[in-house]
Amino acid sequence: MREVRAVRSVAELVDLLDACRGAWDTPDRSGDPVDLYDHALQTAHLLRRSHPADKELQVAGLVHDLGHLLRPGDDAGHAETGAAAVQDLLGARVARLVRLHVPAKRYLAAVEPGRPLSAQSALTLRFQGGVMGPAEVAAFEADPDAAAAVILRQADDAGKVVGLAAGDMEDWRPVLELVADRAYAP
């Protein structure tokens, strides 16, 4: 499998996010009902409303599924792919939250077994390790980023509404620049 190149600038990241318009979580469009562009905007918008002070969480919501664009069809590895692509630009916490959005799904499936998932999320849960067992649940809960990862996952699950306007990618440029500047500020 080829190496994913790190995103080097906010301009490059915005271009990649714009390229999510018309790109889907599954190459045959059988997955979630919105494209990756609308899904990113909806997820970030929900996080902006629920956690207005946590810019890193909002940005993680915006970029959490970028791995689907960078490596189409890799459901099991898309979180790692996306995290690796944005870590140098957006910092360790954003990358960590992107990595954790899949384990957070597995965690929620364990602690809230009746919790609804989209048909695509239910299908990919199997490829992503399935429902966590008790030891995995305990380890996840001990992670300092677990609570934020669960919040991200909940917004991820809710951000799949056909026709819901959640702004434009260009609206996020100042937030992306802020997070990128903070990621490596002295």
Mean pLDDT of 54-75: 95
Mean pLDDT of 130-142: 97
Enter the pTM of the model.
0.94
Position 3 confidence tier, pLDDT thresholds 50, 70, 90: confident
State the burial class of residue 126 (Cβ atoms within 10 Å of its Cβ: 0-12, 13-18, 19+). Answer: exposed
DSSP class of residue 172 equals G
Per-residue pLDDT, 43: 98
Task: Please state, in angstroms and rounded to a whole number, the distance separating the CA atoms of residues 186 and 181.
Answer: 10
Q: Which of 61, 96, 92 is nearest to 180 (CA)?
A: 92
Per-residue pLDDT, 142: 98
Q: Which residue has the higher pLDDT, 1 or 9?
A: 9
pLDDT tens digits, one per residue of 6-64: 999 999 999 999 999 998 887 777 778 899 999 999 999 999 999 999 999 999 999 99
Per-residue pLDDT, 93: 98
Mean pLDDT of 131-145: 98
Cβ atoms 104, 96 nearer than 8 A:
no
* DSSP run (H or E) holding 82: helix 78-90
Cβ atoms 66, 79 nearer than 8 A:
no
Task: Please state, in angstroms and rounded to a whole number, the distance separating the CA atoms of residues 78 and 174.
Answer: 26
Position 1 confidence tier, pLDDT thresholds 50, 70, 90: low
Q: Is 90 exceeded by the pLDDT of residue 114?
A: no
Cβ atoms 66, 85 nearer than 8 A:
yes
Task: Please state, in angstroms and rounded to a whole number, the distance separating the CA atoms of residues 139 and 37.
Answer: 32
Per-residue pLDDT, 90: 98
Cβ atoms 149, 56 nearer than 8 A:
no
Task: Please state, in angstroms and rounded to a whole number, the distance separating the CA atoms of residues 134 and 156.
Answer: 24
